[in-house]
Amino acid sequence: MGIEILKTRLPRIISVGPNLIRQVPETLIELGAHESDCPIVLVHDDITWDIAGKEIVEQLQDMGISSHSYCIRQPTIEESENVSSLASEIKASHILGVGGGSVIDVAKLGSKKANLPFVSIPTNASHDGIASMRASLLEKDKKKSFEANPPIAVIADLNIISNAPFRFLAAGSGDAIANKTAVLDWELAHRLKGERIGEYPRVLADMAAEHVIRDSKLVSRGDLIAAKIITKALITSSIAMCLAGSSRPASGSEHLFSHALDRILDKPALHGEQTALGSILMMYLHGGNWQRIRSALETIGAPTTARAAGIPEEKIIEALLIAHSIRPERYTILGSTGLTEQAAREAAEITGVI
């Protein structure tokens, strides 16, 4: 057995629990933010300012920590550059992202460009970008994935996350369960293409998905316990990616399918909703127990059909046909040539996605 060497950066602090928004200043002090007169940049949008941003700024003021807030309008690469420029201009010490996936991704990439530590404060748990080292942003109206730095700290207040619309929590469950097919694709690439695979991140990613499937009834309640299950699963997925040095443990053919939908739909569904559908389809292609995945998603209340996700059925077929071309360097069950239209339609019909 070979020696597995892990060279990566991981969050120093991960806090998941109720009423943690009150601990933001203390966490920043623990990270050394009080040791200089440099301010904090707090990135938010209009909604998350009211949910948590304003309160955090007031708490920082009470602790004698100055801050500058930046409100994003769209999840674009330009916004991340604006965050980086602001941080450099005011000589900031840290960048905080307070919000959902879009806000966190803008702050995350902005922190990398500014070479500053990033603190993730999610207001919902819709996907595993909470603590990952990737950021999905728009560049020239096309969503692209960019390498970023993982957060130095994650502060997940379960009161806030559980009060978000349940749709976000259901989408997060879809993104976590999608690890099941992502891991199978990684193993396939290892066997057929000799791609290096990491045992620790593989096990972590699979474990995160398994916990959500096992506790699907608890997740369906949408309460603090449900928020804790999904948030911890998504953070575990993020850690798996950090350990692997890539998104491989949590992003396979089901994510290629989702990215294909992003390209062809005028208004895509939530990322986790699309990967939920993708995980059902791709588990079928792997010859695995796709029924178990669909059952768990149904129990939770996540969409398992194109209609439920608001996606035209023919767009499901179109996405299946082009998914293999999204990241040709990433080998998955879709292979290098993709599916025939007949195979794509059979997969979608047999699984009930259409």
* 6 domain-assigned: no
Section 320-344 average pLDDT: 96
CA nearest neighbour of 60 among 23, 90, 89: 23
The pLDDT of residue 12 is above 80:
yes
Domain that holds residue 69: 13-163
Q: Crossing angle of helices 179-193/271-286, nearest 10°?
A: 50
pLDDT tens profile 97-120: 999 889 999 999 999 999 999 999
Domain boundary among 163, 193, 214: 163
**pLDDT digits 0-9 by tens, 216-249:** 999 999 999 999 999 999 999 999 999 998 999 9
The fraction of the chain above a pLDDT of 90, given in percent, is 83
Of the pLDDT bands very low, low, confident and very high (cuts 50, 70, 90), residue 134 is: confident
Q: Is residue 113 part of a domain?
A: yes
When the pLDDT of each residue in the chain is averaged and rounded to a whole number, the result is: 93
Residues paired with residue 30 on neighbouring β-strands, in sequence order: none
Question: pLDDT band at 6, cuts 50/70/90?
Answer: very low
Mean pLDDT of 316-333: 97
Report how far residue 296's alpha carbon sits from residue 60's, in angstroms, rounded to the nearest whole number.
41
Examine the domain organization and report whether 149 and 30 are in the same domain. yes
- State the pLDDT at residue 8: 58
Q: What is the rounded average pLDDT of the residues 246-265?
A: 96
- The structure tokens listed for 58 are 């007031």
- Band (35; pLDDT cuts 50, 70, 90): low
Q: 82 and 193: one domain?
A: no
Structure tokens at 50: 């009211």
Q: Are residues 115 and 259 in the same domain?
A: no
Q: 3 lies in a domain?
A: no
**Residues 179 and 159 occupy one common structural domain:** no
- State mean pLDDT over 149-161: 94
Residue at which a domain ends, from 163, 180, 201: 163
At 134, phi and psi to the nearest 5? Answer: -120, 150
Given a cut of 80, is residue 348 above it in pLDDT?
A: yes
